[in-house]
Every structure is written in C-alpha cells, then in structure tokens.
Amino acid sequence: MKRNIIVALVMLALCGCKKNVPDEAEYNEKANALLQVQTRAGETGEDATVSYPVNVYVFQEEQCKALQTISDTEQTLSISLEEGLYTVYAIGGASETDYVIPSKDNATPSSIIALQDGKTLTDLMAAMSTVTLVEGETNTLTLSMERKVMLLQSVVISNLPTYATAVSVSIAPLWQNLTIETEFTGTQGTARIALAKQDDGRTWKSTSEEYLFPPSTTTATISVSLTTAEGTKSYSYNSSGKLEAGYKINIEGTYIESVGVTLTGTITGEAWKGERTVSFDFDEEGSSKGNGDNNGNN
C-alpha cells in the first residue's frame, strides 16, 4: 500500500510539472494565423552557412509577441499569432553560454545582445523582415542572415629587431554592441591583439582568430606598438578603405630599421563577401600610404 501511494504521488508531480510548461497556443488564445520561419545564408558559396542557434523575436510595434530558437538548418519554426502586422528579427550565433539573451517579457527592439563576462564575440549574424498575417492563413518567412562581424584571421609582423620585448596591433574605433533590431551601438570599441614571438626571434604573430565588430566611423586607425628596453613606439595609419562586416582580415607587416614599419593588410572575403587589399606604411615621421587602398570584390 505504501509503495502504491508513493507511485501515485510521483505521477501527480510529473503531471503538475508538465502542466506548467505552456505550449504556443496558451501564450495567445486568440491566435488565428500561423507564421512559419526558416533561415538561409545571405552569402552564396559552398562554405556559406548560418551561425546557430538563431534567436527569433517577433514584435508587434514595441511589444515582443514571441521568442523562439532555431537550432539547426533543418528546423522551421511555427508560431501562432493574431492577424496583423509584425516585425521579425533574428540573431544568429548567440548562445546562452556566451551572451545574455533578452527574454520575451523584457525584450524591446533596442535591447542589446550582451556578451557575458569573460566571453569574446562569436560569428554573429542578423536579419529582419516585416510580415502581415491574415486570419486563417499560413505565412512562410525565409530570413536571409547577414554577418555583423569581421574575422581577424592573422596578424604577422616580420623582420623585427631581436631585442623587441612586446608587439601588438590595435584597431579602433569599433562598434561595441548589437541590438535585437540588428543595429550597432557604442562607438568607442578597440581591439588590441597581442602578438607572440616566433622561433626565429624576429617574427611576431597572433595565435588565434578573433571576431570583431566593424569600425564605427568611415576610417579606422590601425596601430602597431613596438616595445623595447628603451620604451614603446606606436605607428599608426588611418585607413580610407572601409573594414566591413562579412570580411576576413589578414595583416602582414615588415619592420624596416631605418624607416619604421611597412604593413600590408589584406581583407579577404572567401565565402563571405569578396576581397579587398589595403596597403600602408609606418615610419618615424608618422604614416603614409604605401601602394594605396586597393578595393575589389570577387
């Protein structure tokens, strides 16, 4: 008898837990239309992919009506809503382990997708669209995801003096945040990349790839800091060519003892957006263009 009572209590507890997890229909009893949402990569090419998970926010004016997550390329969301006009935002590549994801109850279009402490940017993508739902109809919406970050693949500075004790490269100003409505905020971001000394003693390079938000102004300042026992010297260049989201960046530099530093930056799109080459020189007098800013797209 005692065992039967325990089993009955367990069954009641399980039923109670299940009841506390509402399905989509319980969120809106007046729902009379269906919105189906799927995603695809905004760029073409065999390597074009969508960054998952994709958090999908559905707004009616400033109120968030639904928040659901697409976990992989095979998944299509089905969201029951009342007829009317909606704005749909999608943020890809932002998981709860790396970001603070605004909930349905406190989300607004201007809410920031904030990094958690100690985390770094991931391959963020975003999309938005408006859709009008009609009673009794199903609307299928395909969101074309576009990258909102650059990828700094490598930084290599060669022919440096063997007595150099530290070398770094910085890029500024960069955007600092991304909102649900896929807009950038914060204009004073800086990326500083510390380089590691290689076995030859004269080459310094980055050791990992890093995602960055694009510059917040039309020009970006790229600086190289060279530290020796005598102190630190910084060589800066204002690039007139845009560094844009969706591009992969490689920076290669050569130090010339009597002149300073000559740098060549290559921005390649590969399966992203295209190819762009930026060339510039650093010397003791400041910065000047090398071969100029040469821009081209595949």
User: pLDDT of 266-294, one tens digit each?
Assistant: 444 445 665 454 545 555 554 444 433 43
- Alpha-carbon torsion 162, 166, 171, 177, what sign? positive
- Which residue shows structure tokens 């968030």? 64
User: pLDDT of 170-184, one tens digit each?
Assistant: 999 999 999 999 999
d(CA 278, CA 243): 10
How much is the mean pLDDT over the chain?
A: 80
Under 8 Å between Cβ of 174 and 212: yes
Query: Looking at per-residue confidence, does 213 or 142 come out higher?
Result: 213
Sort 186 into a burial class: Cβ within 10 Å, 0-12 / 13-18 / 19+: middle
> Percent of the chain beyond pLDDT 70?
73
Instruction: Tell me the average pLDDT across 32-39.
Output: 89
User: pLDDT of 176-222, one tens digit each?
Assistant: 999 999 999 999 999 999 999 999 999 999 989 999 999 999 888 88
pLDDT value at position 282? Answer: 52
Q: Is the pLDDT of residue 72 over 90?
A: no
User: pLDDT of 99-108, one tens digit each?
Assistant: 999 999 999 9
pLDDT value at position 155? Answer: 87
- Which residue shows structure tokens 């003096």? 161
Sort 162 into a burial class: Cβ within 10 Å, 0-12 / 13-18 / 19+: exposed
pLDDT value at position 6? Answer: 38
Under 8 Å between Cβ of 143 and 130: no
**Maximum C-alpha span of the chain:** 94
Give the count of beta carbons closer than 10 Å to the beta carbon of residue 216.
17
Query: Looking at per-residue confidence, does 50 or 7 come out higher?
Result: 50
pTM of structure = 0.80
∠ Cα 176 181 183 (to 5°): 35
